[in-house]
């Protein structure tokens, strides 16, 4: 696990090699559709509604979304990558892409409001099909961790081959433990390229049933990753869920209203299409994978120390085993515990038995019902370029501390109703506006009163820290 402050300096290229050399087949009609609209709180307090886990740095020095985009860019041209997310999340993905050379290349498809995976996949599929009616689409959630790229790409090759025969292919992860946190797929008759017809989908089982599935060798974790021909999938939507297909099909590209889209059934694609179609196939898959959908799954996926602990941050343990302890802002000391999750952030701490850690989201729900800000918005928001921390907020003013990594650029959060004063606490800033740029050194300030957004660039080798003081214009 990497620290949010461990991001590399400089701009990042998503592409590492040509798609043709990776998949060894003509790829003009191969596309990636990334699902990035989730607002899950199962990893609360780390993940919040305003900053869900796909935008967090969890595995390495980049967000889960950027890692997914890099994986996609090793399969297809960047221009063939589409990302579906809620309109309100557009700024989050733009912040992520500013650290790359891909802003403007990757296509963003926005949902007026989140309505689960079935509407999102159909919306994205229609956008791609309008450009290429022969498209073969790979659907990847943006918040999963996938390891062993070579193994993964081999499974992708076989899934694409089956999809070209008009199967709707799901990657089924070969289970290693009797996991109760995932849905399962039962495989049926063999197909070519190691695939199996899908016999049925099963909801998250009990521990006893999951053990039976593990021993059978014919049940697989449902990864939520799919490959299909666009026209095949659209035909299945039309046949099995016309209440989704017809409203989206009858509106112009990019023109669906919030009222119409918000009235669509909020259903997963498994229930809307995959449980009904006769075209379902599963590719048994052995590459490392996790959706990190709970603190228990987080614990199980990551490397452990000699006492079986997953640790991050400023942590000291005594007599503690088989636990996850994560500190985000201060020293955390734990003594004499086993099988616990201790998750510390600037404004909230979650402590739980690991086996009950899936209840984190229930605390977020209760806090939201009480009108508590901790439910949805963290005090510190991490970005690829650095971080922004809310220090104080009143009725007429707000103070934030912004950290900008070496070689990175942030943008102010100014509005037309606020004046803004910047103060450099550490390092040197280049403030860039419409009329050029000004340098600010340690202790220097600048007053910005026209409500415009400014870029704050750190061109030095050291970290930059500034205070942003917002005040309502009188």
pLDDT of residue 298: 92
Q: How many CB atoms lie within 10 A of CB 370?
A: 9
- DSSP-assigned letters across all residues of 143-178: T-EE--HHHHHHHHHHHHHHHTTT-EEEEEEPPSS-
Q: pLDDT category, 384, cuts 50, 70, 90? A: confident
| Confidence tier at 36 by pLDDT (50, 70, 90) | very high
Cα–Cα dist 367/377, whole Å: 11
**Mean of all residue pLDDT scores within the chain:** 88
- Using DSSP's 3-state secondary structure scheme, residue 114 falls into coil
Which residues contact residue 365 at a Cβ distance below 8 angstroms, ignoring those fewer than 6 apart? 41, 375
Contact 169, 139 (CB under 8 A): no
Query: Would you say 9 and 309 are in contact if contact means Cβ atoms under 8 Å apart?
Result: no
pLDDT above 90: residue 51: no
Please say whether the beta carbons of 229 and 217 come within 8 A: no
Asked if the model's pLDDT at residue 382 lies above 80, the reply is: no
Do 454 and 434 form a contact (C-beta atoms < 8 A)?
Answer: no
Q: Check if the beta carbon of residue 51 is closer than 8 Å to that of residue 381.
A: yes
Q: Which helix (H) or strand (E) holds 333?
A: strand 332-335
Which CA distances in Å does 25 have to 68, 69, 192?
A: 22, 21, 18
Reduced to 3 states (helix: H, G, I; strand: E, B; else coil), residue 411 is strand
pLDDT over threshold 80, residue 93? yes
Confidence label for 171 from pLDDT (cuts 50, 70 and 90) = very high
Q: What percent of the chain has pLDDT over 70?
A: 90
Cis amide prior to 144 (ω within 30 degrees)? no
Q: What is the DSSP letter of 12?
A: B
E strand intervals along 174-301: 184-190, 196-202, 219-229, 280-285, 289-290
CATH of range 385-471; options 3.40.50.1860, 2.60.120.10, 3.40.50.720, 3.40.1110.10:
2.60.120.10
Tokens of 17: 């090699």
The percentage of residues in the chain with a pLDDT greater than 90, rounded to a whole number, is: 65
| Residue 34 token pair | 């990334």
For range 266-281, the mean pLDDT: 95
For residue 107, list its beta bridge partners: 82
437-449: pLDDT as tens digits: 789 999 999 887 6
Q: Specify which residues 100 forms β-bridges with.
A: 12
pLDDT value, residue 5: 34
Query: pLDDT at position 57, please?
Result: 81
For the chain, the domains span 30-290, 295-370, 385-471
CATH number of 30-290: 3.90.550.10
- DSSP annotation of 321 reads B
β-bridge mates for residue 228, sequence order:
137
Helices (H), 370-418: none
pLDDT, position 417: 66
What gap in Å lies between CA 90 and CA 250, rounded to an integer? 25
Q: What average pLDDT does range 49-59 have in this prediction?
A: 84
Strands 168-173, 136-141: pairing kind:
unpaired
- Give the pLDDT score at 436: 67
Segment 322-350 shows an average pLDDT of: 96
pLDDT computed for residue 451 by the predictor:
53
């Amino acid at each position: 696990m990497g620290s949010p402050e461990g991001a590399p300096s400089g701009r990042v290229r998503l592409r590492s090699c040509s798609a043709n050399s990776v998949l060894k087949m003509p790829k003009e009609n191969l596309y990636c559709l990334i699902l990035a609209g989730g607002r899950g709180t199962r990893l609360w307090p780390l993940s919040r509604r305003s900053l869900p886990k796909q935008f967090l740095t969890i595995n390495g020095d980049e967000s889960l979304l950027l890692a997914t985009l890099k994986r996609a860019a090793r399969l297809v041209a960047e221009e063939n990558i589409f990302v579906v997310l809620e309109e309100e999340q557009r700024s989050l993905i733009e912040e992520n892409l500013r650290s790359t050379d891909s802003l403007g290349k990757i296509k963003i498809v926005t949902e007026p409001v989140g309505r689960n995976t079935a509407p999102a996949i159909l919306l994205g599929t229609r956008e791609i099909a309008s450009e290429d009616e022969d498209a073969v689409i790979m659907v990847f959630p943006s918040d999963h961790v996938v390891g062993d790229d070579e193994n993964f790409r081999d499974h992708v090759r076989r899934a694409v081959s089956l999809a070209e025969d008009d199967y709707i292919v799901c990657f089924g992860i070969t289970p290693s433990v009797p996991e109760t946190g995932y849905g399962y797929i039962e495989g049926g008759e063999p197909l070519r390229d190691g695939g199996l017809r899908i016999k049925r989908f099963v909801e998250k089982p009990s521990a006893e049933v999951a053990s039976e599935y593990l021993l059978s060798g014919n049940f697989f974790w449902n990864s939520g990753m799919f490959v299909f021909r666009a026209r095949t999938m659209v035909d299945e939507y039309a046949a099995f869920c016309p209440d989704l297909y017809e409203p989206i099909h009858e509106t112009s590209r990019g023109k669906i209203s919030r009222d119409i889209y918000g009235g669509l059934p909020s259903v997963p694609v498994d229930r809307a299409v995959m449980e009904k179609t006769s075209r379902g196939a599963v590719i048994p898959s052995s590459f490392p994978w996790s959706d990190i959908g709970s603190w228990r799954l987080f614990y199980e996926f990551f490397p452990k120390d000699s006492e079986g602990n997953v640790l991050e941050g400023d942590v000291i343990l005594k007599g503690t085993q088989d636990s996850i302890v994560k500190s985000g802002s201060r020293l955390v000391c734990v003594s004499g515990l086993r099988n616990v999750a201790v998750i510390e952030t600037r404004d909230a701490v979650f402590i739980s038995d690991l086996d009950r850690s899936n209840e984190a989201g229930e605390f977020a729900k209760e806090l939201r019902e009480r009108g508590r800000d901790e439910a949805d918005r963290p005090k510190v928001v991490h970005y690829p370029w650095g971080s922004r921390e809310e220090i104080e907020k009143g009725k007429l003013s707000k103070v934030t501390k912004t950290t900008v990594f070496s070689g990175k650029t942030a943008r102010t959060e100014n509005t037309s109703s606020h004046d803004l004063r910047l103060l450099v606490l550490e390092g040197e800033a280049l403030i860039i506006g419409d009329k050029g740029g000004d340098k600010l050194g340690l202790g220097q300030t600048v007053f910005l009163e026209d409500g415009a957004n400014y870029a704050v660039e750190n061109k030095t080798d050291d970290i930059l820290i500034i205070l942003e003081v917002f005040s309502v214009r009188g």
